[in-house]
Structure 1
């Protein structure tokens, strides 16, 4: 490799590093499009994820994975969801 091609190679690597991983750029948005406020029994919930407000999304998001693998976004303002969050935290 010649010394003249090194800057070109370096530039190519930098461009790929910036634009190559487009998934991270897509994460800067809210995860939940639709939120559910209907009660879901805790016995059907496998995991609970709380995503606080931030630069990626201006609202708090509560996402549960049900035991059947389904992801459900819960309304963090629903009374039963608030109660669930208090028990978990």
Structure 2
């Protein structure tokens, strides 16, 4: 094999390997997995909840996710099937609806 051909093959393989590595390291544009692994189903006073985020099921996760941020700044994944969580969501939605109508 001639030296020019050997250099051309080495260059070709280097370019191919570089393009494979670059495509594998491309950053993801969004989070494509469930955020909640462990669910808290115990009772928590509503006054300790500073913010409540609801994430509907979708391509990223098959489950409805309810993440509460406490007044201390901790994030807790709540069990959306727990009765008190359903009541808390309903109260917060009603409160927001009243505030938006005023």
Q: TM-score, normalised by structure 1?
A: 0.72
- The 5 A counterparts of 1:1-89 are 19=26, 21-22=27-28, 24-25=29-30, 27-89=31-93
By relative contact order (CA 8 Å, sep 6+), the higher-ranking structure is 1
Distance in 2, matches of 1:88 and 1:57, equals 24
Return the structure number with greater helix share: 2
The structure with more radius of gyration: 2
Inter-partner Cα distance in structure 2 for 1:43 and 1:86: 15
SS at structure 2 position matched to 1:82: helix
Give the drift of 1:67: 1.0
List structure 1 segments (4+ residues) > 6 angstroms apart after TM superposition. none
For these two proteins, the number of residue pairs brought into alignment is: 72
Unaligned runs of 5+ in 1: 1-11
